[in-house]
Amino acid sequence: MLKFLLTFLVFTSPAMAQKVDLRNIPSNFSFVSQGSESQVTMRFIRREGDRFLFEESAIYTDGSTDTVRVWVNAQSQTTAWGQTGTETRFTPHDCAPSEGTCYHIWHHPDDTFEMKTKTYVENGVWVSVEYFKDGESWAFWERDCTTYDEFGFWIDYVWIGSDGTTDAGARVRPGDNRLDELWAICQPPLLTS
């Protein structure tokens, strides 16, 4: 699920965030999402000043598990993700869900990356194409096609990485998901810059 949580620093950004205000989130907010590699439970823990703490627990198809903490701002943009003390930080936050072009820094424990995200909305689907700075040029990193709830968390998603790997998933809920539509929107050609 890292793909939803990769995020970064806005240098100059005409990007417009989805209208989200987590100050109204219910104390019992949680959901379960089934992906091709794992089932994830996302649960609201508490508010910490101007940030909101969530716990993301994954059960993978091989039986292994992982639990991380996710800190987001009131607009549901990620500011940190991972195990406490070794988390990945985002300066000042990620750009999902935001429309337009946004620049950000991803501070991973092993390295730091300058990132650019271009996002547009098509039929209620947020299409984000991410790039990383490679010398003086931008290299394609990944494409996400996602539907979001009123709190800025994914409902259905398709992810395509620069190496051709893919992932998709949807909330566990009654009724149909929109994955076929997301696959159709998210298919290549993948942009290179």
Helix (H, G, I), strand (E, B) or coil at 193: coil
Residue 190: per-residue pLDDT: 54
Average pLDDT, 10 consecutive residues per value, the chain (193 residues): 34 52 94 95 96 96 96 92 88 86 89 92 93 93 94 94 92 93 82 48
Residue 19 confidence (pLDDT):
77
